[in-house]
């Protein structure tokens, strides 16, 4: 599982999660600038964000979590994934204030990952 977390400023290493939640400034998918912008725009227009609030040294920073589900998955799988994300955020020290209900994203997608990792480097429509 890979979840890209969009933050407005760098996050201290102490908040990095051991559960493969990548918390870092976005966009950062290891792609050319124009590809990153295209994917970021697609995600922002297609996926209503899950908003969390991170309390950091006395002030709060809004972060956005984008979850890309590849292929058709069941409601149970989606719920399990969201639960994993919320637990990982909690373990990373991020206080989740609320998660809005998101409309489903229809269609088939292919996610290209780096070998032996879950780091997503490309997301494309279709197979």
Domain ranges of the chain: 3-125
Q: Hey, what are 122's tokens?
A: 């490309």
Q: Is the pLDDT of residue 79 over 50?
A: yes
Q: What's the confidence (pLDDT) of residue 21?
A: 37
What was the pLDDT predicted at 98?
55
pTM recorded for the entire structure = 0.33
* Nearest-angstrom CA–CA distance, 48 and 85: 16
How far CA 20 is from CA of 1, 16, 23, 32, 87, in Å, comes to 7, 9, 9, 23, 11
The 10s digit of each residue's pLDDT in 16-37 is: 433 333 333 334 334 444 554 5
């Amino acid at each position: 599982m890979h979840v890209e977390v969009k933050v407005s400023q760098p996050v201290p290493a102490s908040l990095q999660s051991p559960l493969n939640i990548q918390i870092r400034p976005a966009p950062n998918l290891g792609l050319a600038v124009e590809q990153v912008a295209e994917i970021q725009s697609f995600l922002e227009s297609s996926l209503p964000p899950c908003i969390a609030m991170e309390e950091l040294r006395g002030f709060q920073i809004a972060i956005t979590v984008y979850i890309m589900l590849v292929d058709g998955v069941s409601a149970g799988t989606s719920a399990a994934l969201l639960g994993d994300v919320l637990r990982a955020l909690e373990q990373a020290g991020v206080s989740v204030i609320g998660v809005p209900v998101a409309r489903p994203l229809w269609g088939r997608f292919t996610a290209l990952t780096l070998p032996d990792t879950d780091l997503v480097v490309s997301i494309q429509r279709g197979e």
